[in-house]
Amino acid sequence: MPLFEFICGNCGKQFEKIVFSINNETIECPFCKSKDVKKQFSTFSASSHHHHNGCCSSSSSGCITKKTSCGCGGCCGI
């Protein structure tokens, strides 16, 4: 289910909403109930797969130390 960011043309507040179908669903501002809302360009977040013990990295270089007891299920294959 995609989460979209919107801004209200009436009150100017920004809000997020899970939208099942952006084409068929009427979006309403949760603050003032206006239907004058515009979808915003939003950024996304990506996290890196690093362990505190320095074993794994999701970078293209793969494992840093190639420990066999890592247990991360990632680059070590364990």
Q: What is the largest CA-CA distance in the chain?
A: 58
Q: Quote the CA–CA distance of 44 and 35 in Å, as a whole number.
A: 25
Please tell me the pTM assigned to this model.
Answer: 0.51
Reduce the DSSP state of residue 36 to 3 states and report it. Answer: coil
pLDDT digits (tens, 9 = 90+) for 18-34: 887 767 788 999 999 99
For the purposes of burial, counting CB atoms within 10 Å of the CB of 6, is it exposed (0-12), middle (13-18) or buried (19 or more)? buried
Q: Which of 44, 4, 48, 11 is nearest to 27 (CA)?
A: 4
- Answer yes or no: is pLDDT of 67 > 60: no
Q: What pLDDT shows up at residue 21?
A: 73
What gap in Å lies between CA 52 and CA 38, rounded to an integer? 41
